[in-house]
Amino acid sequence: MDEEEAGKLFDEIDTDGDGMITFPEWNQHPESFKGKCSPLGDFLQMDMNWDREIGREEFIRHRAYRHYS
């Protein structure tokens, strides 16, 4: 997945449009976690600053450069 695709997926998951993905938003999109972890485990791996939300930069960095291709 490249940065553009990751950005589009971020926008789909961020249903309230506040620029952050919360766990409830994340959990509503089971197709977005690829079976590597539980939904919570996958969410926590992306939450690099431990604020319980995933910002666009965290999401794109994780999706485009780490576990997914």
Domain ranges for the chain: 3-65
Helices (H), 1-69: 3-13, 23-27, 39-46, 56-65
3-65: which CATH number, 3.30.70.3340, 3.40.50.300, 1.10.238.10, 3.30.70.1050? Answer: 1.10.238.10
**Exposure letters 47-57 (e unless 16+ CB within 10 A, then b):** beeeeebbbee
Amino acid 34: pLDDT:
63
Amino acid 23: pLDDT:
95
Question: pLDDT tens digits for the chain (69 residues)?
Answer: 888 998 999 999 999 999 999 999 999 987 766 656 788 888 998 899 999 999 999 999 888 776 544
Question: Within 13 Å and on the Cβ side, how many CA atoms surround 11?
Answer: 6
Whole-model pTM: value is: 0.83
